[in-house]
Amino acid sequence: MKITVIGTGYVGLVSGVCYAELGNEVVCVDKDAGKIEMLLEGKIPIYEPGLKELADKNRSEGRLAFTTVLDEAVRGSDIVILAVGTPPMPSGEANLTYINQAALEIADAMNGYKIIAIKSTVPVGTNERVAELIRSRTSEPFDSISLPEFLREGSAVKDTLYPDRIVIGADNEKAADAMVQLHRPLTDQIIVTDIRSAEMIKYASNAFLATKISFINEIANICEKVGADVTKVAEGMGYDKRIGASFLKAGIGYGGSCFPKDTRALIQIAGNVDYEFKLLRSVVEVNQDQRMNVIRKLETIFGGELRGKTIGIWGLAFKPNTDDVRDTPALEIMQYLADNGVKVKAYDPIALDNFKAYYGKEGVVWCDKALDVAQDADALCLLTEWDEFAEADLNLLQSVMKQAILIDGRNVFKEEDLLGTDFIYYSVGRPSLNKGVKEQIPVMQL
């Protein structure tokens, strides 16, 4: 098939490359001329393992192209996939400006029947409104498809080529069949439903996963007070097939471009139809507060006074294997420390440059090596579970620090890792591993 993908962010670029890998002719379109120039030079503007190799292969074999010229790409395609951004507005609702603009440009370029699929995460009813918008500009025939994505940054290529399921929302059987055939090489787990249900499946899936994360973090906080180990609790829960083991890893909460945006958007969607989504509001509140556990633990260790201390930060991306720093817990933690007179030193293996542009404050010491962060630091906070940090020599780390204090926000280290060290150590929901300070964690007023 001939496919045009509009938008070369995480979803659009990964999807376009993988569709080409299936043998389709794909053109990826973006208004950002600088991004397209990078792609034409063989550079990938995002960090995603395995993506560059696939892109290079499919470009060399003539199945993948990049351009800023939308109308030409649309005219030469059978299927047009919208994968542009839908960033949150202050209200929490998704901003559909880019979707609407792309729809108008598609309409103006139409030269015959097309299948127009929306892969961007959009509120329920958006596909219908976009279809109306296109019909207002053209009499050319088309069918509208909802094609929600379920990619995880850091494993997006794998998730695309080996998906758990494909969801197709359609109101025309012929168009649905064409989309089923496009995705059949990927999996037999293909769900065809109405368009509004497909739109809701995306939001409901992300909201449920966010709920699991906030739930296990609440359990971790209770474990710290009653002397249980949240990793053992999660393991025991995970064997129950009704629950499952995924997304039961306690830490400092979720971040990134999907969960924060989609949970707030679903709360707003519910509000727009006069329904208060109480559970999801609590999920968001728990996640926001969980980040501050790092601060609370530092406050406990230093007797409530952080001013003048030097605190190192390991990890700035919201998760490992990505350079995405959107809504990363590191942002609020570092801002709080800086606002309270702390000298902050920071390092991330991949996301350092992105975070520098995102942070917006002065005074941080940006380091090129993990050990440089720890040099003469009063404490070190691990916020992203990169392998580089998990494999660190803790004895060497201790030797360069001013005070051997380690806050492990992702439960990276095990008991055997700490043997032979003198670290004051705090993790999340594992009180038996904590060393050095045994007081209850106080509630911090923000």
pLDDT in tens, 174-202: 999 999 999 999 999 999 999 999 999 99
Cβ-based burial of 305 (10 A; exposed 0-12, middle 13-18, buried ≥19): exposed
Separation between Cα atoms, residue 70 and residue 318, nearest integer Å:
33
Q: Do domains 2-193 and 202-288 have the same CATH topology?
A: no
Q: What is the mean pLDDT of residues 252-280?
A: 95
Higher per-residue pLDDT: 263 or 441: 263
Q: Using the predicted structure, report yes or no on whether residue 28 has a pLDDT greater than 60.
A: yes
Among 80, 55, 62, 57, smallest CA distance to 70 is for 80
Q: Using the predicted structure, report yes or no on whether residue 98 has a pLDDT greater than 80.
A: yes
Separation between Cα atoms, residue 26 and residue 79, nearest integer Å:
10
8 Å CB contact between 426 and 400: no
Buried b (16+ CB within 10 A) or exposed e, 168-204: bbbbeeebbebbeebbeebeeebeebebbebbbbbbe
User: pLDDT at position 282, please?
Assistant: 98
What topology is assigned to 202-288 in CATH? N-(1-d-carboxylethyl)-l-norvaline Dehydrogenase; domain 2 (1.10.1040)
Say which amino acid occupies 319: K
**pLDDT mean across residues, the chain:** 95
Q: What is the 3-state secondary structure (H, E, C) of 342-387?
A: CEEEEECCCCHHHHHHHHCCCCCEECCCHHHHHCCCCEEEECCCCH
Separation between Cα atoms, residue 193 and residue 216, nearest integer Å:
32
Query: Mean pLDDT lowest for which of 285-294, 330-339, 386-395, 429-438?
Result: 429-438
DSSP H or E stretch at residue 118: strand 114-118
Say which amino acid occupies 432: S
Helix (H, G, I), strand (E, B) or coil at 142: strand
Helix (H, G, I), strand (E, B) or coil at 167: strand
pLDDT in tens, 364-389: 999 999 999 999 999 999 999 999 99
Query: Mean pLDDT lowest for which of 118-122, 226-230, 435-439?
Result: 435-439
Write out the CATH class of domain 2-193: alpha beta
User: pLDDT at position 446, please?
Assistant: 43
Confidence of residue 439 (pLDDT cuts 50, 70, 90): very low
Confidence of residue 362 (pLDDT cuts 50, 70, 90): confident
| Token pair in block for residue 339 | 């606002």
8 Å CB contact between 423 and 394: yes
Q: DSSP letters along 68-105, please?
A: S-HHHHHHT-SEEEE----PBPTTS-B--HHHHHHHHH
Q: What is the mean pLDDT of residues 131-155?
A: 96
Q: What is the mean pLDDT of residues 105-112?
A: 96
**Residues of the chain with pLDDT > 90: what percent?**
93
Sheet of 114-118, strand order: 64-67, 25-29, 2-6, 79-82, 114-118, 142-146, 166-170, 190-193
pLDDT in tens, 326-355: 999 999 999 999 999 999 999 999 999 999
User: pLDDT at position 93, please?
Assistant: 87
Q: DSSP letters along 198-256, please?
A: HHHHHHHHHHHHHHHHHHHHHHHHHHHHHT--HHHHHHHHHTSTTT-STT---SS---S
For the chain, what are the domain ranges?
2-193, 202-288, 291-426
Q: Using the predicted structure, report yes or no on whether residue 444 has a pLDDT greater than 90.
A: no
User: pLDDT at position 442, please?
Assistant: 45
Separation between Cα atoms, residue 167 and residue 147, nearest integer Å:
6
Do strands 142-146 and 166-170 pair parallel, antiparallel, or not at all (unpaired)?
Answer: antiparallel
Q: What is the mean pLDDT of residues 38-64?
A: 96
8 Å CB contact between 46 and 13: yes
How many CA atoms does the CB half-sphere of 239 hold within 13 Å?
5
Write out the CATH class of domain 291-426: alpha beta
DSSP H or E stretch at residue 426: strand 424-426
Distances in Å between the Cα of 166 and the Cα atoms of 20, 124, 150, 187, 243 are 17, 18, 9, 8, 22
Sheet of 365-366, strand order: 365-366, 343-347, 310-314, 379-382, 405-408, 424-426
Q: What is the mean pLDDT of residues 261-270?
A: 94
Confidence of residue 437 (pLDDT cuts 50, 70, 90): low
Active site residues: 258
Q: What is the mean pLDDT of residues 296-300?
A: 95
| Token pair in block for residue 222 | 């209770």
DSSP H or E stretch at residue 66: strand 64-67
